[in-house]
Structure 1
Amino acid sequence: MLTSLSIKNYALIQSVQLRFDKGFTVITGETGAGKSILLGALGLITGKRADMSSAGDATQKCIVEGVFHIEGYQLHPFFKKHDLDYENATIVRREILPSGKSRAFINDTPVTLAQLTILGSKLVDIHSQNKTLQVVENDFQFEMIDTFSDNLKLLGQYKESFKAWKLSQSELKELLERKKQAQLEYDYQSFLFTELDEASLKEGEYESLEEELNTLSNADEIMQQLATAVQNISLDESGAIDQLTAARASLSRLNNYGAQYTAIYEQLNSALLELEDIGASLSEMSDAVDADPLTLERLNNRMQLLHSLLKKHQVATVEELIDIRNNLDNDLQDIAGVDDKIQALEDKIKTQHNKASTVAAKLHNERATAAPHLKSLVEKLLIELGMPNAQFQVSLATQEDLHASGNDVLEFLFSANKGSELKPLGKGASGGELSRVMLALKSVLSKHKQLPTLIFDEIDTGVSGDIAVKMGGILKKMGRTMQLISITHLPQIAGQGASHFKVYKKDTEERTQTFIEQLDEDARIVEIAAMLGGNQQSQAAIDHAKNLLN
């Protein structure tokens, strides 16, 4: 419920502070006085786009702030989702800066325009002549019949099932596309895998092969140098071993002359033993060198294969080739198993479709039961609104395909005249008739659902006399269960408001300004008398105004 509205530097309004009560509020004023400015200001705090041309003084900031009592609106999830502080008295503010930039705040926390729009749609519902076209929209008609049928819980179950079914359908579409693409690439991927698999790649192979090739490529040089080394340390008379053996024999004769001679003897003996081991190792290494050209050719061929594979797959190591081989193997296995996945998903989709269809059938039955009652209530209200021959019907049929609201094909049909063919509401009703149908539907809806603040902008266009009185009565009844604000030019409606605001323009020394003030009882008599008889207010007009207020 809107409890207060503050407007500063917006259009012709310099500064206005308004307080609103629950129930039915009327707003009146001469044509051009600025009633649309009030709607524009409300539009700003409910998410309408703005520019600096909205400001009265372009050098000053424009501020519109509304306070809403939101207890019972079930808005906690919205505040939690957007990390906003929840307050029963929630403050919504919009600022337009001289630079032209716009800022929005919810409880003093900056928010995006999208967030403000979401909240605004749950707080205020503005109906102008253009907005009345909402009544012909299929989403509104489904909302109307489901709210009237008390179907919202069942509808929630359906939407959950429908969403799961659609998600699985998307997954199946993606899987089929992947299969199609995979089949196009399967032969090539299979060739790549076979090539890598038959190569029998091993980790560390490249480095080992490189070392072997280096050895074989220099086999003659290696054998020659090893042979020379063996000869130099061999047991020949000129070899190092023979020379060290003679030195060891000389030192052995000194062992009895002191410990120091014994120690040096031991060191030399150890060196001689190690040298003998080295000689044996060199001989083994020399024997192991393979200068076989066939072996060299085999290793060169292997290295060329590795180089070819590395270049082909644009990687630097054999380990990366092994990873590619393993990934190709996994991909090929996935392709081989995709049919099983598709079958499993198709079975899941069938089960989900059956579940959603079952709930859709229940929805249809509930709607079909409620449709005649809704028809009766709407036609009764249309009679009160001066349309005694109006016919209203809820056309409901089923189709095979599921959609977001079930499998019903729903359409509101209407005819204003006796004997005329019922047509879809958007084709069979004029603008004024649509306004009355919308009012009738909203009146019914208000008894079944807590509606946001409902604002009617001259919904009474084309209405007068006794019909206007009855329309005012309907608005007054709606005001017993909700907050309703009507901008009207009809005294018969203005007289039935629980509170009354007047919008007027006044010339000051500097500029023309729009003012809005709440009228007391006496001021209401004067205003309604003026609406009845113009500026020349007769006693009859005043008496008539008092009668309307009573």
Structure 2
Amino acid sequence: MLTQLSIKNYALIDDLSVKFNNGLSIITGETGAGKSILLGGLSLILGKRADLSSVKDDSKKCVIEATFDITKYNLKSLFKSEDLDYEPLTIIRREILPSGKSRAFINDTPVNLDSLQVLGVRLLDIHSQHQTLQLTNDDFQFQVIDALADNAKLLETYSGQLKQFKQLKKALKALQEQKAEAIKELDYNSFLLKELDDAKLIKGELEVLEAEYETLNNVEEIKEKLNASHELMSNDDIGVTASLTEIKSQLSKLSNYSSSYKSIYERVASSLIELDDIFSEIEQLQDQLEADPDQLDKVNAKLQIINNLLQKHSVSDIDELIAIREDLRSKIEVTEHLDDDILETQKQLETCELELQKLSDAIHDKRSTILPKLTQQLETILETLGMPNAKFDIKLNPSEVFLDNGKDDLQFLFSANKGGQFNELKKAASGGELSRIMLAIKSVLTKYTQLPTIMFDEIDTGVSGEISNKMGVIMQQMSKKMQVFSITHLPQIAAKGDTHYKVFKEDIDNVTFSQIKQLTQEERIVEIAQMLGGSDLSSSALAHAKELLN
């Protein structure tokens, strides 16, 4: 409920602060006194866009602040989702700076207008004769029906199931698109993989093949050089081995003379051992070496295959080709497994759809059950409000698709006159009739759900004294379960309030200001008497005012 409102530097208001009580609060005042200014300030609290022209003194900041007691509204989850600090007494503040910029705060946390609007609709509902579009909105009509049907828990479960259903549908579509795309690439990828598999690639193979090719391709030259080297080492007259053996023999006689001779002798002996090794290895290479045209052709062919693959895939070594081969293999395996994934997702989707259908059927059944009760309650209330021939025809038709709140299409039809045709509310009811229908619906809703504070702005316009009295009674009944405000010009409604506030203008130093104050019992009598008979108070008007208040 709205517990306090303060407005500074807004329109005709310089500095206003007022506290409100629960129950039915009446707001009265002459036309132009500032009631619309009050509503304008509250609209800013609800997230309406700010206008610098509404600021009284554009050299100063305009501040509008409202305090709400939200202990009964179950809003902790909303505060969490909006990343706000939850406070049982929540303060909403709007500021319009001289620059024209606007700022909004919830419990001193800066917020954008979207967050303000999300919270605002849960706290305050401003309704006037000209603001009845909500009544013709399907979402609002379903809200009424589901409140009476006690569908809150079912709808919460349905919402979670619908979310899963949509996710599965999205996943299935993605898998099917992936499969379609994969099928286009499958043949080509399979061809590329076969090429790489047939090549039987081995890590580090390229260097080995290149070395083998060079050997086989130059076998005669290698043979000639090895033979020449063998001859130079093994010749008895001029061979390197024989000469080095003779040098070793000569130096061995000097090795005992000094360490210098011994060192050079040992180096020659070591060189002779290394030379023997080289000689043996040359002999082995000679034995192994032979021309092999077939092997040369094989090596050359394999090199050609590898080089073609390197060029085709724009890489520089076999390791990269092997990585490409494994990646292609993975893609093909994924394609082959897509059918399994699609089948599994389809099964999950079917199971989810069955559960969703059960939930939507249960929601539909509960809605259908309460429609006669809702129709009867609304028609009874409207009869007391001067619409004895008002009739409703509310129909639930099955939808082809799952909607956000079930699987029903709603027809909320109305006829105001006896024998008249049923039609949509916005076509069948006048503005004044829509206001009374809204009042009837809100009064029914208060019995089944916790509504936010509601402010009726002159919805009694054009209503007779007896009907206005009935409207006042309905507001009184509503106010037992929620906070209700009524801005009215009718004394019959004004007298029904638990608390009465008056909006008035006063001139200070040739400047007009709007003010609001809570009236005492005596002031209420005077105010209602003036509403009955004008500014000239008669004893009969005062007596009538007292009678209405009693």
The CA distance in 1 between the partners of 2:273 and 2:213, in whole Å, is: 33
Q: Does residue 1:363 correspond to 2:363, yes or no?
A: yes
- 1:517-542 CA-to-partner distances (Å, cap 9, x unmatched) read 22222332233223223333333323
In structure 2, list runs of 5 or more residues that go unmatched. Answer: none
Cα distance 1:319–1:258, how it changes in 2: closer, same or farther (>3 A)?
closer
Q: Is the 8 A contact 1:64 1:93 kept in 2?
A: yes
> Which residues in structure 2 correspond to 1:93-132 (within 5 Å)?
93-132=93-132
- 1:373-400 CA-to-partner distances (Å, cap 9, x unmatched) read 1122111211121112211243234345
The CA distance in 2 between the partners of 1:212 and 1:285, in whole Å, is: 14
- 1:190-243 CA-to-partner distances (Å, cap 9, x unmatched) read 333333333333333445556666777887887777667666655654444333
Match for residue 447 of structure 1? 447
The CA distance in 2 between the partners of 1:292 and 1:379, in whole Å, is: 108
- 1:18-49 CA-to-partner distances (Å, cap 9, x unmatched) read 21111111222222333222222222222222
> Which residues in structure 2 correspond to 1:524-543 (within 5 Å)?
524-543=524-543
Cα distance 1:397–1:81, how it changes in 2: closer, same or farther (>3 A)?
closer
Match for residue 250 of structure 1? 250
Match for residue 141 of structure 1? 141
TM-score (norm 2): 0.90
Cα distance 1:544–1:213, how it changes in 2: closer, same or farther (>3 A)?
farther
Q: CA deviation at 1:410?
A: 2.5
Cα distance 1:240–1:84, how it changes in 2: closer, same or farther (>3 A)?
farther
> Which residues in structure 2 correspond to 1:452-471 (within 5 Å)?
452-471=452-471
The CA distance in 2 between the partners of 1:52 and 1:315, in whole Å, is: 66
The CA distance in 2 between the partners of 1:6 and 1:23, in whole Å, is: 20
State the AA in 1 paired with 2:514: T
The CA distance in 2 between the partners of 1:98 and 1:212, in whole Å, is: 87
Percent of aligned positions with the same letter in both sequences?
50
The CA distance in 2 between the partners of 1:15 and 1:332, in whole Å, is: 75
Match of 1:122, SS state, is coil
The CA distance in 2 between the partners of 1:396 and 1:50, in whole Å, is: 41
State the AA in 2 paired with 1:396: L
Match for residue 504 of structure 1? 504
Q: CA deviation at 1:440?
A: 0.9
> Which residues in structure 2 correspond to 1:115-514 (within 5 Å)?
115-209=115-209, 237-254=237-254, 265-282=265-282, 284=284, 302-303=302-303, 305-509=305-509, 511-514=511-514
Match of 2:132, SS state, is helix
The CA distance in 2 between the partners of 1:202 and 1:535, in whole Å, is: 108
- Give the count of matched residue pairs: 550
The CA distance in 1 between the partners of 2:491 and 2:223, in whole Å, is: 122
- 1:389-433 CA-to-partner distances (Å, cap 9, x unmatched) read 211243234345432222223222221122223323233212211
Match of 1:131, SS state, is coil
The CA distance in 2 between the partners of 1:409 and 1:264, in whole Å, is: 111
Q: CA deviation at 1:178?
A: 2.3
- 1:262-294 CA-to-partner distances (Å, cap 9, x unmatched) read 565444322321232234445556777788787
The CA distance in 2 between the partners of 1:310 and 1:510, in whole Å, is: 93
Q: CA deviation at 1:152?
A: 1.1
Q: CA deviation at 1:189?
A: 3.0
Q: CA deviation at 1:466?
A: 0.7
Cα distance 1:127–1:307, how it changes in 2: closer, same or farther (>3 A)?
farther
Match for residue 40 of structure 1? 40
Q: CA deviation at 1:344?
A: 2.4
- 1:292-317 CA-to-partner distances (Å, cap 9, x unmatched) read 78767765655554454445444454
Once the two structures are overlaid, the 10-residue window that deviates more, 88-97 or 179-188, is: 179-188
Match of 1:448, SS state, is coil
Match of 2:244, SS state, is helix
The CA distance in 2 between the partners of 1:471 and 1:230, in whole Å, is: 126
The CA distance in 1 between the partners of 2:210 and 2:59, in whole Å, is: 80
State the AA in 1 paired with 2:342: I
The CA distance in 2 between the partners of 1:538 and 1:361, in whole Å, is: 64
- 1:167-204 CA-to-partner distances (Å, cap 9, x unmatched) read 22222222222222333333333333333333333333
Aligned-residue Cα RMSD (Å) equals 3.0
Q: Is the 8 A contact 1:413 1:425 kept in 2?
A: yes
The CA distance in 2 between the partners of 1:30 and 1:491, in whole Å, is: 13
The CA distance in 1 between the partners of 2:319 and 2:527, in whole Å, is: 91
Q: CA deviation at 1:329?
A: 2.2
In structure 1, list runs of 5 or more residues that go unmatched. Answer: none
Q: Is the 8 A contact 1:133 1:434 kept in 2?
A: no
Match of 2:79, SS state, is helix
State the AA in 2 paired with 1:70: I
The CA distance in 1 between the partners of 2:123 and 2:214, in whole Å, is: 83
State the AA in 2 paired with 1:87: E
The CA distance in 2 between the partners of 1:221 and 1:455, in whole Å, is: 109
The CA distance in 2 between the partners of 1:351 and 1:60, in whole Å, is: 62
Q: Is the 8 A contact 1:464 1:490 kept in 2?
A: no
TM-score (norm 1): 0.90
Match for residue 88 of structure 1? 88
Cα distance 1:243–1:140, how it changes in 2: closer, same or farther (>3 A)?
same
The CA distance in 1 between the partners of 2:543 and 2:351, in whole Å, is: 71
The CA distance in 2 between the partners of 1:138 and 1:337, in whole Å, is: 45
The CA distance in 1 between the partners of 2:221 and 2:113, in whole Å, is: 83
The CA distance in 1 between the partners of 2:139 and 2:452, in whole Å, is: 18
